[in-house]
């Protein structure tokens, strides 16, 4: 999968240590060859919840059939 800088992606699986759940929306802020990405996940208020380095298979591109939802999260440490 070819991911671009600033592209929106959805998380494939939960990452409880960062308060993230599958389906959370993030933005790619760095691409590492061959298959790494740095993704920033923010709250609806614009506060960074997590900035994590993931492998490309951990995320998927956001598509036209995706719905954005809001859920409560614990404040990031």
DSSP the chain: ----TT-EEEESS-BGGGTB-TT-EEEEEEEETTTEEEEEEE-TTS-EEEEEEEEGGGEEE--TT--------PPP-
Give the pLDDT confidence of 53-70 residue by residue, as tens digits: 999 999 999 999 999 999
Instruction: Report if residue 38 sits inside a domain.
Output: yes
Total structural domains within the chain: 1
Give the C-alpha separation, 24 to 59, whole Å.
10
In a domain, 75, yes or no: no
67 lies in a domain? no
Host domain of residue 40? 8-59
So what's the pLDDT on residue 14?
A: 98
Please give the average per-residue pLDDT across 29-40, as a whole number: 96
């Amino acid at each position: 999968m070819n991911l671009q800088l600033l592209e929106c992606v959805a998380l494939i699986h939960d990452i409880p240590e960062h308060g993230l759940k599958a389906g959370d929306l993030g933005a790619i802020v760095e691409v590492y060859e061959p298959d790494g990405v740095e993704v920033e996940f923010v709250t609806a208020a614009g506060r960074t919840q997590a900035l994590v380095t993931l492998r490309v298979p951990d995320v998927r591109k956001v598509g036209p059939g995706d719905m954005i939802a809001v859920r409560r999260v614990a404040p990031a440490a």
